[in-house]
Structure 1
Amino acid sequence: MTQRTPTTSLRVRAKLRRIIIALICAIGLAWILFSSLQTIPRHFLDPIAVNTTSHSNTTTTNNTFSATIEVYQQAPLRVLSDAQILQLLRIELNEHRAGSLKEDDFAGAIRRVSLHKTLYEAHSKNVTELTVPMEDLESLLFPWVKAGNKFKSISHLASSFTGRGIVMTTGRYHFEYARHAITVIRNLGCTLPIQLFYIGEDDLPKDNRDALELISGVTTLDIKQYFEPNGPDLSGWAVKPFAILASSFEEIIFLDADALFFQSPDVMFNWKAYNDTGAVFFMDRTLFAGTDSPGLKFFQSIVPEPSEYAKTSGRLIPKLTVHEGESGVIVWNKRTNLHPLLLTCVMNGKPYRDMVYKAYHGDKESYWIAHEALKMPYRWAPGAGGTVGFLKNATAEPTKVCGGLYHPDENWKPLWFNGGILRNKHSSDGQVSLSLTHWATDRTFKSPQWEWETPTTPFCLLPNDSKTEFGELTAEEKKIAAMMVSSWDLLKLPVSKPSAG
């Protein structure tokens, strides 16, 4: 038998010590790696999970990514390192290259905007390796921004926001209404600067623009100088959210060209609803209760988990109406609600606009739905759309009021109405100024009795409660109403040319 020498025993013990130390280091390293991965699901860090171009894997990839985003959004943003954020962004870009998002994948578009919001708010601004992937994502979502050659990125665009102001859009058809609306609010003492957008020379000729800019504080701006308009195919209602985004103001009040006010619009900046959320929208008329409308079905398809506010304070989900919002007036803090605004633009641009406008009457529902889709708070102004105007038959129906689409302020006092001063601006027989004496509103959403407009008569409302939902304008409000009519008549007069000599 061979005997071990003392030297051999020392060598064996030294070797064992090295093995034990190596095992301890390996275990420690594994524990550190395991702990770091708990901040983010494993498939965040595995590009193989999404690096595929096969059609059979597209659905799996989509579902995996959706689950990943859901977990990610529930985690505190501070636990993610810049490297992890970068990897998350690469996953999204890889998925796009795999062709997983189709033109009719509205939910996918919402998810991408949600991802952009998360990365925009979470990543360190000085991490240079994030720049190119973020640019790629913005090129997918908002290609019209950089293509417009005014803003390099969404961050660059947002850095231009400052102050408060009014945003409007108009073309040659609504030029007279816009000039009248601006004249009215200036007569009410509103001094907020006004930026009025149009879509090229053919939309609003120079003589119209010059006439508008004669009013103090009004600037006319061509949206084509801000964004590339052909991609989203800007026209009609669709230009409204793009104008809001392009405006230089941080806090905006958007006004339709035919919105007329009884009070200065800037009072809405003082509302609690606005100060709580930075987003206040107005409701349309309550119509067709109990209908399982295409609008409700579309909403449920893209917002499967609506907020409690939408369920309890809105009317669409409980089927009290088929029309929820209207977009004649919007009060928005663009910095606080940048991504709902961006998503609203996506919803009103090609290719998704066709889907939205098929479900709804134009742009009007897209604003609050964008907040719901991104789980960001907003508020409805008091009551559903009512009417302000004249009594149709003071003897037979003493509380039935016919007139424009009416909205009160937070204290239920007359604030504004939509549609302009004429009985029916769309009809040659309706070119008669409204007589503004009474108002009717809808506080309860319980199937108020509406009478449809005719070529000579506007919408009429018979409210449910004559004590709380009906009233007569005060003497001061009637003076303002008279000013609306007289200023319209004055603006309609032909401009006299100076006599020669």
Structure 2
Amino acid sequence: MSLFAPSRSHHLIVLILWLSTLFLIWQHYHGLAQLSPGQTVKAQKALSTQPEDAQDPEGILSITLPVDRPQPIAPAAPNGVEALLSSIAKSIEYFVNVPIQPSEFSQLGGRLQILSTWLSARETLPSLMSSSQITTLDSHIERTVISLFPFIRHPMQPKNAQPFSTLRQTFQKGSSGIVIAGDKSNLRYLCHAIQNIRTVLNSSLPIQIAHAGDRVLTPSLRRFITNLAPNVTTINVPTLLDPRPLDLQRPDAAPALRPFAVLASPFEQVILIEPKTIFLQPPTTILENHGAYKATGALLFHDHLHGKGDFKERHEFWHGLMKNHRHSQALRSSRVYNEGYAEETDGGVIVLDKSRTSVMLGLLHTCWQNSKRVRKDFTYKSGDGDRDSWWLGFELAGAPYAWESRYGGTIGWLLKQEGKQDRVCGNTNLHLDESDKPLWFSGGLVADETNTVGRDAGVGGYQLPTQWMVDGVFQKRREDLVGRGRERDCMWGDTVRGVGAEETRVLSESIAAARKVDEKSRLFDARTYRKPTKEGS
């Protein structure tokens, strides 16, 4: 999607020249002081050919420039395309000679915003450019992407000079599908999710199980999964991206696999889900009907609102990244960011349209946050796995994204206690569509003593949810009491709603389908599967 109309092509050249020049000067004054002597020399060489008369008439050099901020348009310069290409080349020299460090989340966002203007030029200016100029611009763009995201190279094509465009060409035009990151530890729930989508909701969307090699998901398990339902395939992510900066085969790297699975998937529109995600409506509802998704191409869902005042270091980290950043509407609407609540993102469903350039740039930032060095030292120290890297990536890259309108609710069972308000309890996070109808929930179908009310379903058993609530007060269970039946996730303070007839049908049939999967296989990992007891079955 172009950020500028073709009729403004001449002005776009001038705008990009201004942005690139101002960015270089800003980098010079704000970045060189933090470099080593060797890096300083390289950066000064990269800047040495800057025009002596570079000006800053609007006084905006000290801030990061979002691509959507209106800028003054200077008179058209002669031979504007050549000047544009020269300015881009100088910026690239800085990018290459002064690489992004693992702590520089905001710096990467600034560079992506500059890259966005170059990609817009590539989309809107071909009629003003010769074939050689187009080739030069393509080369500049590819060199920039490689300098920022070395993992983008296909491991079988290490010398490919155009890995970014090559990757984008693998996206099947107009395609959409579901991606689930899987391994042995979540196999049972993954199979339940497939049955819920394909067998109960009759969705024909292709389902792709992303994994990180035979050690985490063996060939026999992959065969079992793909035989569960039609149009279910697997994808080995480290064979499609350079695995060296990623290190995805480590046991603790499971969350990091998810954004790279989205990047590597051939689907243009991707619904990324967790294995414990259960849909109450066909997932195509989001692609076809969700207005916020259609407007931005990137839809995220909120976690519960809880733990206000907890995780102060997390909030200090976030606010530090946003010091010189113009907050998007999505960030301004965030109660977690602005009011100090504990967790922002429910990663159970993330929906992206990779055909949009802005979405690709936001996704690349998120992937970078989940690369080995960055996630180890920063991303996972300041958040819960990959979850908050999604909104941070889009926010810092200046890419439009949208949140669902409500924070997470709860679907489960009614708990009545004398002297207390009625509560809905269950280890779930419920999300509604734009018509306030239940759409999906995280937490899975399996019930145990920590999330049921009334008759114990038994470890590995099931119990049909009967009530739900949103917009209430959420109390997260205490982990030190889990397993003793003394503490549950509960919500109170708003209307208790009964699960409707259609949702009950979907849940009942999903539980029946899950039981059949359980009966078919004993390949499940012992940590997530035990044969249901007679009392709890």
TM-score normalized with structure 2 length: 0.75
Match of 2:148 among 136, 141, 151: 141
Residue in 2 that maps onto 1:111: 110
Residue in 2 that maps onto 1:479: 505
Residue in 2 that maps onto 1:499: none
Residue in 2 that maps onto 1:220: 234
Match of 1:253 among 254, 271, 274: 271
SS in 1 for 2:197: helix
Contact 2:470 2:494 in 1 (8 A): no
Aligned pair 1:410/2:434, yes or no? yes
**Larger Rg computed on CA atoms:** 1
Match of 2:321 among 302, 316, 319: 302
Contact 1:177 1:420 in 2 (8 A): yes
Report the CA distance between 1:296 and its aligned residue: 2.1
- Output one character per residue of 1:145-186: Cα deviation in whole Å (capped at 9) or x when no partner: 224236742122223322111111101111221111011111
> Superposed, which structure 2 residues align to 1:416-427 within 5 Å?
416-423=440-447
Contact 1:260 1:416 in 2 (8 A): yes
Identity value in percent: 25
Contact 1:165 1:251 in 2 (8 A): yes
> Superposed, which structure 2 residues align to 1:414-493 within 5 Å?
414-423=438-447, 430-442=459-471, 447-452=473-478, 454-455=482-483, 459-466=488-495, 470-493=496-519
Contact 2:247 2:372 in 1 (8 A): yes
Report the CA distance between 1:317 and its aligned residue: 2.6
- Residue 109 of structure 1 aligns to which amino acid in structure 2? L
Gaps of 5+ in 2: 1-12, 48-53, 452-456, 523-537
Residue in 2 that maps onto 1:342: 364
Report the CA distance between 1:243 and its aligned residue: 0.7
Aligned pair 1:288/2:312, yes or no? no
SS in 1 for 2:439: strand
Match of 1:190 among 178, 182, 203: 203
- Residue 442 of structure 1 aligns to which amino acid in structure 2? D
TM-score normalized with structure 1 length: 0.80
Contact 2:450 2:488 in 1 (8 A): no
* Residues 344 and 129 of structure 1, relative CA distance in 2, 3 Å threshold: same
* Residues 333 and 494 of structure 1, relative CA distance in 2, 3 Å threshold: closer
Residue in 2 that maps onto 1:27: none
* Residues 332 and 72 of structure 1, relative CA distance in 2, 3 Å threshold: closer
Structure number with greater CO (CA < 8 Å, separation at least 6) is 2
- Output one character per residue of 1:22-50: Cα deviation in whole Å (capped at 9) or x when no partner: xxxxxxxxxxxxxx989845993999996
User: How many residues in Structure 1 have an aligned counterpart in Structure 2?
Assistant: 454
Residue in 1 that maps onto 2:261: 243
Residue in 2 that maps onto 1:267: 285
SS in 2 for 1:384: coil
CA distance in 2, matches of 1:226, 1:362: 22
Aligned pair 1:317/2:337, yes or no? yes
- Residue 156 of structure 1 aligns to which amino acid in structure 2? T
Aligned pair 1:370/2:387, yes or no? no
CA distance in 2, matches of 1:311, 1:144: 28
RMSD over aligned CA atoms reads 3.7
* Residues 76 and 276 of structure 1, relative CA distance in 2, 3 Å threshold: farther
- Output one character per residue of 1:387-436: Cα deviation in whole Å (capped at 9) or x when no partner: 11112337665333224222122222221111211235999974332431
Q: Which moved more, 1:311-320 or 1:351-360?
A: 311-320
Contact 2:328 2:395 in 1 (8 A): no
Contact 1:407 1:414 in 2 (8 A): yes
- Residue 119 of structure 2 aligns to which amino acid in structure 1? Y
Residue in 1 that maps onto 2:422: 398
CA distance in 2, matches of 1:118, 1:188: 42
Report the CA distance between 1:324 and its aligned residue: 0.9
- Output one character per residue of 1:290-335: Cα deviation in whole Å (capped at 9) or x when no partner: 4572222222222333535235421123225121112110111112
Aligned pair 1:180/2:192, yes or no? yes
CA distance in 2, matches of 1:110, 1:85: 21
Contact 1:294 1:359 in 2 (8 A): yes
- Output one character per residue of 1:185-244: Cα deviation in whole Å (capped at 9) or x when no partner: 112121111121110111111111112212111111111221122212223111111111
Report the CA distance between 1:67 and its aligned residue: 2.9
- Output one character per residue of 1:359-406: Cα deviation in whole Å (capped at 9) or x when no partner: 111110111222211222222113212211112337665333224222
- Output one character per residue of 1:53-78: Cα deviation in whole Å (capped at 9) or x when no partner: 6666799999x999399569554899
